Structure 1
Amino acid sequence: MKLQGIYTPVLTSFGPDGNVDYEAWKIVLDKQIDAGVHGLIIGGSTGEFYAMSKQERLHQFDFANDYIAQRVPWIAGINDVRATEVYSYAKAAKLAGASGMLVAAPPYSLPNEKELAEHIIRIDEAADLAIILYNYPGRTGVEMGSEFLDLIADRENVVAIKESSGDINRIHQLTLDYPQLQLSAGAEDQVLEFFVWGAQSWVCACANIFPQACVEFYKTCVIDKDFVKGREFMTALMPVMAFLEQSGKFVQCVKYGAQLQGLRTGEVRLPMQELSDEMKSQVSAVILKAANSLEILINNK
């Protein structure tokens, strides 16, 4: 599987009754595809998988596959606290029609690197489907370090790594020491650095708010290799990315930003709570300013 372009970890729309609002979610999916994103991630943390039942998650896979209807590839987020559930989701993703799986370390259990490698191998054996590793030690408590990568990086189905540690040195290490793995930008505020070092894709939560601009940013850096203009895109997006990465309200900011673009997203599920009025005002100001700057950049390409 070749990862090239913008892959949006899509938010999940919830209705007033708290259930998934599939009519609203269709519009969310269509907006992404119409804006030209290259793929969608269904069941990621931006989609609040951790707050959904197994039945909801499996139905979301099936619904997404039918509605997307091969317009773009979709990748299944299969993560769970229980390893055995992860293997079950892996099989379900394959049956549902996913092109690949996004796989992080199981949170809370803190497996060592050898144990984590064996976990990935079991996922591979369960589904025989492309695997995109997801290194996010800030959420899982586990680093996908050299011992782990040495054990699994050469497996045929382990095709890429979404690097979200925030450690700039990891970009260098992965590019130089593990060229067999496609490098995908995962830290929103380091995207330009990823592109400079040769990353061909961005798993881009920001695209829930600005899908067209994120696609243009990707084209500018990866296709045109115009890093001067790339810095201009990064300058426009950085305040938004800073809110996403540093506010402690990641999903709330993504959902509110999408609402400002006219989408029905519903509220976040517990234990998270909605943004305060003060924070909504701050997010609105940041997004409005970014939107104006991005429009100028896109129109002057």
Structure 2
Amino acid sequence: MKFKGIYTPVITPHRADGSFDLDGLADVVEHLIGAGVHGLISGGSTGENYTQTVDERLELARFTKARANGRVPVIVGAGAMRTADSIALAEGARDLGGDAILVASPPYAVPTERENALNVLAIDRAANLPIMLYNYPGRTGVNMGEEFLDRVGRSRNVCAIKESSGDINRVHLLARDYPHIQMSCGMDDQALEFFAWGARSWVCAGSNFLPEEHVALYETCAVKGDFATGRRIMSAMMPLMRVLEQGGKFVQCVKHGVEMAGLRAGPPRPPLKPLNKDDKRQLEQVIRVLKTTIADIRRED
């Protein structure tokens, strides 16, 4: 499977009591597809998968896949603390017709590279679907290093890796030494560098509420190769990326951004709480400036 374009890790809209707002989710899916994103991810951390049971995650994946109705691929998140849960998610993804699965290292366990690779290969055997790996050592505590990549890279299903380490040397390593594993940007403030080193996809939570702007950066850099304009767009996006990453309010900011776009997102599930008024005001100002600036750049182009 070739991963090209913007892949949105879709939020999970909630009602006030924490239950799923599936009508709200349907509207988000329609908005994203209409805005030109290239794929959807159900069951990522942006979708608050850490607050959900396996059955709930598969319910959301089935709904998202049905709503997309073949218009864009749907990747199903299969990462979990327990291998048994990851296998159940992977088998469920296969049964509901998922196009691929996203597999992260199991958090908290801190497996060795061999143990981590065997975990992925067990999930692979259960699903037999294309796999996008997800390397995020800041959340999982371990890095998907060279021993790991050498082991899992033998599987024809391991197609791509969402790289979220923040270490630019990892971009160089993947581009030079593992060209058979497609590199996908998973660190938003390094998108320009990823595209310069050959990445052709970007998994970006901000595309939940700014899909056109994220698509614009992808098309400018990865399709047109116009990095001069790309730098201008990226510069306009940097203040948003700083706001999203500060103070552990990532999901809350993304959900408020979705509300700003006129869609329903609802509150996060506990333990997270919604943004306060000051945080909302700061985010709203940053988004307004970003949208105006990028619109001006696109008109000039």
TM range (shorter): over 0.9
Answering whether residue 160 of structure 2 is matched by residue 157 of structure 1, we say no
Q: Is residue 94 of structure 1 aligned with residue 94 of structure 2? A: yes
Q: Do the aligned partners of 1:213 and 1:298 also contact (CA within 8 Å) in 2?
A: no
CA distance in 1, matches of 2:37, 2:292: 21
Structure 1 residue 263: Cα displacement: 1.2
**Distance in 2 (alpha carbons) for counterparts of 1:228 and 1:159:** 30
Paired residue for 2:43? 43
Q: How far apart in 1 are the matches of 2:24 and 2:183?
A: 32
Q: Secondary structure at the match of 1:97?
A: coil
Farther-moved stretch of structure 1 (109-118 vs 245-254): 245-254
Bigger drift between 265-274 and 49-58 goes to 49-58
Distance 1:247 1:236 in 2: 21
How much does 1:228 deviate?
A: 0.3
**By how many angstroms is 1:288 displaced?**
1.0
Q: Aligned partners of 1:194, 1:212: CA distance in 2, in Å?
A: 19
Counterpart contact for 1:154–1:180, Cα < 8 Å: no
Counterparts of 1:252 and 1:40 in 2: how far apart (Å)? 19
Matches of 2:246 and 2:199, distance apart in 1? 23
Give TM-score scaled by structure 2 length: 0.98
- How far the C-alpha of 1:16 sits from its partner, in A, is 2.1
Tell me the distance in 2 between the aligned counterparts of 1:298 and 1:93. Answer: 38
* 2:132 aligned residue: 132
CA displacement 1:195-247 (0-9 Å, x = unmatched): 01110000011101210111111010011000000001101111111112233
User: 1:289, CA displacement in angstroms?
Assistant: 0.8
Q: What is the TM-score normalised by the length of structure 1? A: 0.98
Q: Is 1:144 aligned to residue 144 of structure 2?
A: yes
Residue 206 (structure 2) pairs with residue 216 (structure 1): no
Mind listing any 5+ residue stretches in structure 2 that lack a counterpart? Answer: none
Is the 8 Å Cα contact of residues 83 and 123 (structure 2) preserved in structure 1?
Answer: no
In the TM superposition, residue 129 of structure 1 has moved relative to its aligned partner by 0.3
Alpha-carbon offset, residue 91 of structure 1: 0.4
Counterparts of 2:281 and 2:203, CA distance in 1 = 27
Give the match for residue 174 of structure 2: 174
Aligned residues: 301
| One-letter amino acid of the structure 1 residue matched with residue 147 of structure 2 | E
Aligned equivalents of 2:103, 2:54: Cα separation in 1: 17
- Tell me, in whole angstroms, the C-alpha distance in 1 between the residues paired with 2:55 and 2:212: 32
Within 1, Cα distance between the matches of 2:121 and 2:169? 26
Q: Are 2:207 and 1:207 aligned?
A: yes
Displacement after TM superposition at 1:277 (Å): 1.4
Q: Percent identity?
A: 49
The ranges of structure 1 where at least 4 consecutive aligned residues each deviate by more than 6 angstroms after the TM superposition are none
Look up the equivalent residue of 1:227 and give its one-letter code.
F
Q: Are 1:282 and 2:282 counterparts?
A: yes
Secondary structure of 1:247's counterpart equals helix
Judge conservation of contact 1:160–1:183 (CA < 8 Å) in 2. yes
Query: Is residue 262 from structure 1 mapped to residue 280 from structure 2 by the alignment?
Result: no
Does the 8 A contact of 2:9 with 2:203 survive in 1? yes
2:74 corresponding residue in structure 1: 74
CA contact (8 A) 2:18 2:268 kept: no
- Aligned AA (2:16): P
Q: Alignment partner of 1:161: what SS?
A: strand
What RMSD in Å do the two structures reach over aligned CA positions?
0.9
Secondary structure at 2:264 match in 1: coil
Q: Map of 1:47-62 to 2, 5 A cutoff?
A: 47-62=47-62
**1:267-295 deviation digits (Å, cap 9, x = unpaired):** 01100111121111111111111111122
Aligned amino acid, residue 207 of structure 1: S
Give the superposition deviation at 1:17: 2.6
Counterpart of 2:35, as a letter, is: A
In 2, the alpha carbon distance for the partners of 1:62 and 1:220 equals 33
Asked if the contact 2:152–2:158 (Cα under 8 Å) also holds between the matched residues in 1, the reply is yes
Taking the aligned partners of 2:207 and 2:114, their CA distance within structure 1 comes to 34
Residues of 2 paired with 1:240 and 1:258: CA distance? 14
